[in-house]
Structure 1
Amino acid sequence: MRYEILRPLRVVDGSSITSLGARKIEVLLAALLVRADQVVSSEDLVKEIWGTRAPRQAIATLQVYVSQLRKFLRRPGRPDSPIVTERSGYVLRLGTDELDFHIFQDLVRQGRAAQRAGRTQEACEAYEEGLGLRRGPVLEDLRDGAIVNGFVCWAEQAWLECVEAFVDAGLELGRHREFVSFLYARIEELPLHEAFYRQLMLALHRSGCRADALSVYQSARTVLGQELGLEPSAALKRLHQAVLVDAPELEAA
């Protein structure tokens, strides 16, 4: 069985794909998955589900939700529930089950190790596979509490770092032309993320589109100035100057 949280929450068991219809129970499952194999206190789960508006019988209601979640996760031939009651709360034991963000972390680690060892193609493939695990907004509509919201912030940052590493590896392999449209799309999504402007300028320059590369710098300067009142970073300015003089060090190895 595989739990997927790098998207709207769902559970995959072979060819069967299921999701919960009750939002509060979804929040409960999401919180337990984010803290998989760790005890989450009943108090923290109450805050995650209800925030500051917990009902008087919140602990009793939480117990009912846990019971319903255990029924949802029950599978033939599997007598034990993955949700275990502990003294202070509950823990979801993964056992042999998979969690997609653990798989993502493993792929990023493999990619970094391969890149450090000079196996750039292998690194690129690992990053690309990791990025493919995200399909839609991470835990959409379940972000009200500290546990899930904290995870979403981490997941978004980890995804950005993986995208940057993937593009860097691809550019190192000479795949600059195919990354141009990819990077334009990323800038459309995240217009304040400077790294994508840098990578797009480099991809365009290596594709023989120096004027377009310089135009990207001006776009970055305009957006950063209007939205944040900032100038481009020193790294982006250096790249702009290098493109202006057609510096040989910008060429792909």
Structure 2
Amino acid sequence: MTTYHVLGPLAVRDGGTDHTPRGPKIGKVLALLLLRAGEVVSVRTLAEELWDERPPRTAVTTIRTHVYHLRKALDATEDGAGALRTEPTGYRLSHLPGPFDAHHFTRATDRGHALLRRDSPAEAATVLRTALGMWRGSALAGIDPGPVLTRHVEHLEELRVRALELRIEADMALGRHRQLVPELRGLVAAHPLNEWFHARLIDALHRSGRRSDALRAYGAVRGLLDRELGLEPSADLQRVQQEVLTSGRTPVVAAS
């Protein structure tokens, strides 16, 4: 069975055989068609992705050539025959020609979210870990995305952060505060302006019996927000700080 991957380097695999198209432009065309499967991707959109606002005179011919090679490659796979259709204004994958990691990830994240809302944090954490395990690096790593794919990459990376937030919420509901502290420190370093991650770090430190460390973490994010944005901490952060100061217990704020 042929599988398609964008959660990391673009890859097309059939068992142990690599069928990833060679060449940066043909890779962009395939990625765009996969991410918009079922929709018509216009020639104009493909030209914008491949050459931004300066397409060459041969743009239409070049796109046709890329599509021709892609069609031949897809038609040679088990499920891809006839999938790539020519439409009046562009091209369309009428169906996904094989399992696609971005769709599996999105469905698993939605399932994990639903389980969490049904008060099944253990099962939710397992499902969300599996979803996050589908990532093999940054979305479309190795491709220099044009303006259209850039928007898709940003969307996928936002979904990844969302899945992380949900999995952390599930783990905190299971009382795994000590285990989460190192991961949360890494996440606030990688996403310094994500106040939700900071709030969960402060909460995890406090619930691990590290009250002074929790207060230092609050002071650090407060200073960062003031320097970078001229803002006070969010209501969520202030609420968590208040809990530390009063040694009370409040529910973990959901990543909704």
> Which TM-score band applies after superposition, normalised by the shorter structure?
over 0.9
- Cα distance in 2 for partners of 1:109, 1:249 equals 26
Matching of residues 95-244 of structure 1 within 5 Å: 95=96, 97-140=98-141, 141-146=143-148, 148-244=149-245
- Cα distance in 2 for partners of 1:30, 1:68 equals 14
Relative to 1, partners in 2 of residues 1:87 and 1:178: Cα closer, same or farther, differing over 3 Å?
same
Task: Give the SS at the match of 1:249.
Answer: coil
Relative to 1, partners in 2 of residues 1:250 and 1:209: Cα closer, same or farther, differing over 3 Å?
farther
State the one-letter code of the partner of 1:169. Answer: A
- Cα distance in 1 for partners of 2:4, 2:80 equals 19
Normalising by structure 2, we get a TM-score of 0.91
Q: 2:29 aligns to what? A: 28
Q: Give how far 1:72 is off.
A: 3.5
Identical positions, percent: 36
Task: Give the SS at the match of 1:243.
Answer: helix
State the one-letter code of the partner of 1:46. Answer: A
Structure 1's unaligned 5+ residue stretches are none
Does structure 2 retain, via aligned residues, the 8 Å contact 1:201–1:216?
yes
State the one-letter code of the partner of 1:136. Answer: G
Q: Give how far 1:108 is off.
A: 1.1
Q: Give how far 1:18 is off.
A: 3.7
Does structure 1 retain, via aligned residues, the 8 Å contact 2:71–2:84?
yes
Q: Give how far 1:210 is off.
A: 0.9
Q: 2:248 aligns to what? A: 247
Task: Give the SS at the match of 1:248.
Answer: coil
Relative to 1, partners in 2 of residues 1:189 and 1:77: Cα closer, same or farther, differing over 3 Å?
closer
Q: 2:51 aligns to what? A: 50
Relative to 1, partners in 2 of residues 1:175 and 1:232: Cα closer, same or farther, differing over 3 Å?
same
Relative to 1, partners in 2 of residues 1:167 and 1:54: Cα closer, same or farther, differing over 3 Å?
same
- Of 125-134 and 15-24, more deviation after overlay is shown by 15-24
Relative to 1, partners in 2 of residues 1:157 and 1:77: Cα closer, same or farther, differing over 3 Å?
closer
- Cα distance in 1 for partners of 2:89, 2:184 equals 47
State the one-letter code of the partner of 1:229. Answer: G
Q: Give how far 1:174 is off.
A: 0.9
Normalising by structure 1, we get a TM-score of 0.92
- Cα distance in 2 for partners of 1:77, 1:178 equals 44
State the one-letter code of the partner of 1:139. Answer: L
Deviations 1:84-127 (A, max 9, x none): 21222111233461111110111011111111211111111111
The RMSD of aligned alpha carbons is: 1.8
Does structure 1 retain, via aligned residues, the 8 Å contact 2:3–2:13?
yes
Does structure 1 retain, via aligned residues, the 8 Å contact 2:38–2:92?
yes
State the one-letter code of the partner of 1:102. Answer: H
- Cα distance in 1 for partners of 2:16, 2:188 equals 36
Deviations 1:34-62 (A, max 9, x none): 10121111111111111112111211111
Does structure 2 retain, via aligned residues, the 8 Å contact 1:82–1:94?
yes
Q: Give how far 1:77 is off.
A: 5.5
Structure 2's unaligned 5+ residue stretches are none
Matching of residues 7-86 of structure 1 within 5 Å: 7-75=8-76, 80-86=81-87
Relative to 1, partners in 2 of residues 1:78 and 1:125: Cα closer, same or farther, differing over 3 Å?
closer
Does structure 1 retain, via aligned residues, the 8 Å contact 2:83–2:97?
no
- Cα distance in 2 for partners of 1:22, 1:71 equals 15
- Cα distance in 1 for partners of 2:21, 2:80 equals 21
